[in-house]
Structure 1
Amino acid sequence: MRARSVAQNILIVDDESSLCWVLGQFFSGAGYRVDSAGALDEALDLMTTGRYDLVISDLRLSGTLSEEGLMLADFVRRYTPQTRVVLLTAFATQELTDRAQALGVDLVLSKPQPLPTLAEHVSRLLAAAAV
């Protein structure tokens, strides 16, 4: 995976702090600037004060039936429509994918996702956004 010469900004949102850390280390090592949030309110605060090229968010941030990842995606599309959104979830279904895409999510991926595969998706989305 190659980051562009100008570092792109990624926001990682997951209630599992270890996953935020691993993804943060991985993408930072690839030349991206990375912030992370463990909850919806924290992610919304970061979205309003920073600029992100891509958001990687878990679907469920606060409970087994919550869908804060979709709320975040809706916010991103309304306020920063150029930002790409990847939704990671252990609960991927076609119905969820359809709902997510209707809110402007670029990609719904099953969790866990191999880092090289996730990196390839991120590179592809950011390259397409730059065109």
Structure 2
Amino acid sequence: MMEDVLIPIVAIISIFALPVVTALVLILRKLNADHNERMALINQGIIPPNEPKKKTNPNRMVSLRNGIILAALGIGIIVGFLCSQYLVIGDENKFWITSASIVSFLGVGYLVYFLVTRNMPREGEEDQPGE
């Protein structure tokens, strides 16, 4: 009787607590290793440099690509669903109709990304006169 209640409770606690505890242990080990490394450098007379966190600018081209591709994926899923529900050809081939529309719209998304970015300068490249 007690086992019937205890097993699900232990299972639920394990599902949520085990990853959290594992992450905490790994973070604490990393912090401890960094601290020990700094202490070893200080004991040798070396002043460890302070490493500030670098703020990186997000790559706008990657964000543009991901946005276009995810929009195309969403449109492909919607079109595939609508075709499989409301077209006669979709009755027996729902999986293939949906898959084909998703792949097609992903292709269209990549083409749109290519067309949008083909005349844009790439990162690190500057317009050089005479070329």
State the TM-score, normalizing by the size of structure 2.
0.20
Query: Which has more radius of gyration?
Result: 2
Which has the larger share of strand?
1
* Higher RCO (C-alpha under 8 Å, 6+ residues apart): 1
| TM-score under structure 1 length normalisation | 0.20
